């Protein structure tokens, strides 16, 4: 079987299929379980500087083409999260701590205080006031937050971008200028659903983020655009639900992929994707490096 081992974004990964932020990442035990189920790395639930309970429910709505969520960044704060990271590390794969704040110094403070294998900056959550994409849609803020965390942390720093912008490339370039070790693209698309019986927006927060199959073509396009211009690796996320989706994302230029909504089918998804990817590489006599960005080289 071809090797799925990669070095990307400053980390050595046994395979390029990672658990995405916000999915089964509240407890060290569930992160560990993802690692043991075959994830090449795991990203925690985003943690901030103060405890948050998140938005009132419903927090999740299944829509025709995907999943809508508005959790509202619930977390116990970084001060109460190191234990979970340490437990997660028992899974034997890199643990990437997703962190959020509303200004550069807040991000830096969290990064200084937590020990993880890497940080992923949540500059892209589409449904929390004063956080996520409310900062992450401004290139100058993306650059300054990234720079501040790079200065504070001695581990790789990944920056997760929002697609809720006219030009994601501008955001990617800003993160690269700030010193990011990798780009993670994309977070969810800002969306909503309405209960037609009563007219109530279904999510407690009214607005949420759309994930799942509906957003995969958007994610593929974003990864393609970013990987074509950036010098740092791009990690593709958004609607990856099968090994075919992973192949497509890697062909677009992703060095690795993250899986989120597809965990609705259970932890078996990691092995399903890595096995399929391996067989595909074998059948095509390709290495992972050769597959990465293949679509870019097919331009006529």
Partner 1 sequence: MRPINCIIEEVRSEAPLIRTFWLDRNLDPAPGQYVMVWIRGVDEIPMSFSGPDTITVQSVGEASAALFSLGRGSSVGLRGPLGNGFILRGKRILLMGGGVGAAPLAFLGEQAKGAGMRVASLLGFRSKEDLIFRDRFEALGDTIITTDDGSLGIPGRAAAGLKELDLFDYDQIYLCGPEMMMWDIISRTREHAKKTQACINRYFKCAAGICGSCCLDPEGVRVCVEGPVLMADRLAESEFGRYRRGPTGGKGPCRG
Q: Active-site residues: which are they?
A: 125
Place of tokens 């995907």: 66
Judged by CB under 8 A, does residue 208 bind partner 1? no
Phi then psi for 191, rounded to 5 degrees? -155, 170
Cβ-based nearer residue to partner 1, 10 or 76: 76
Cβ-based nearer residue to partner 1, 68 or 148: 68
Q: Which of 2, 76, 179, 276 binds partner 1 (CB under 8 A)?
A: 76
Q: Which stretch binds partner 1 (CB under 8 A): 98-106, 189-197, 219-227, 287-295?
A: 189-197
Output the 3-class SS for 262-274.
Answer: HHHHCCCHHHHHH
Site string for partner 1, 40-69 (x = CB under 8 A): -----x-----xxxx-xxxxxxxx---x-x
For residues 26 and 13, give the distance between their C-alpha atoms in angstroms, rounded to a whole number. 22
CB atoms within 10 A of CB 246: 26
258 SS3 class: strand
Q: Which of 97, 176, 106 is nearest to 139 (CA)?
A: 176
Report yes or no: 188 and 214 within 8 Å, Cβ to Cβ: no
Q: Which of 9, 16, 22, 233 binds partner 1 (CB under 8 A)?
A: 22
Judged by CB under 8 A, does residue 190 bind partner 1? no
CB atoms within 10 A of CB 256: 28
Site string for partner 1, 86-125 (x = CB under 8 A): -x--------------------------------------
Q: Which residues bind partner 1 (CB under 8 A)?
A: 22-33, 45, 51-54, 56-63, 67, 69, 71, 74-77, 80, 87, 193, 195, 197-198, 200, 202, 204, 260-261, 263-264, 266
């Amino acid at each position: 079987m071809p090797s799925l081992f990669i070095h990307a974004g400053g980390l050595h990964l046994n395979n390029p299929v990672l658990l995405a932020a916000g999915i089964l990442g509240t407890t060290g035990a569930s992160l560990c379980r993802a690692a043991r189920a075959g994830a090449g790395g795991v990203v925690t639930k985003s943690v901030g500087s103060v405890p948050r309970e998140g938005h009132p429910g419903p927090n999740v709505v299944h829509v025709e083409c995907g999943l809508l969520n508005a959790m509202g960044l619930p977390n116990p704060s970084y001060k109460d999260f190191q234990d979970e990271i340490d437990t997660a590390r028992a899974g034997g794969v890199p643990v990437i701590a997703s962190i959020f704040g509303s200004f550069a110094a807040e991000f830096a403070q969290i990064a200084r205080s937590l020990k993880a294998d890497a940080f992923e900056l949540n500059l892209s959550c589409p449904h929390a006031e004063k956080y996520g994409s409310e900062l992450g849609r401004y290139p100058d803020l993306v650059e300054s937050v990234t720079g501040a965390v790079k200065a504070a942390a001695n581990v790789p720093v990944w920056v997760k971008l929002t697609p809720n912008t006219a030009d994601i490339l501008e955001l990617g370039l800003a993160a690269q200028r700030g010193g990011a070790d990798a780009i993670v693209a994309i977070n969810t698309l800002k969306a909503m659903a309405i209960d037609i019986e009563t007219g109530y927006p279904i999510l407690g927060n009214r607005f949420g983020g759309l994930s799942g199959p509906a957003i995969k073509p958007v994610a593929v396009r974003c990864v393609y655009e970013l990987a074509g211009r950036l010098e740092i690796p791009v990690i593709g996320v958004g609607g990856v639900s099968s090994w075919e989706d992973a192949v497509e994302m890697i062909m677009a230029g992703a060095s690795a992929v993250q899986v989120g909504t597809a965990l609705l089918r259970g932890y078996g998804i990691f092995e399903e994707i890595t096995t399929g990817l391996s067989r595909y590489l074998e059948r095509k006599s390709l290495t992972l490096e050769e597959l990465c960005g293949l679509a870019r080289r097919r331009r006529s």
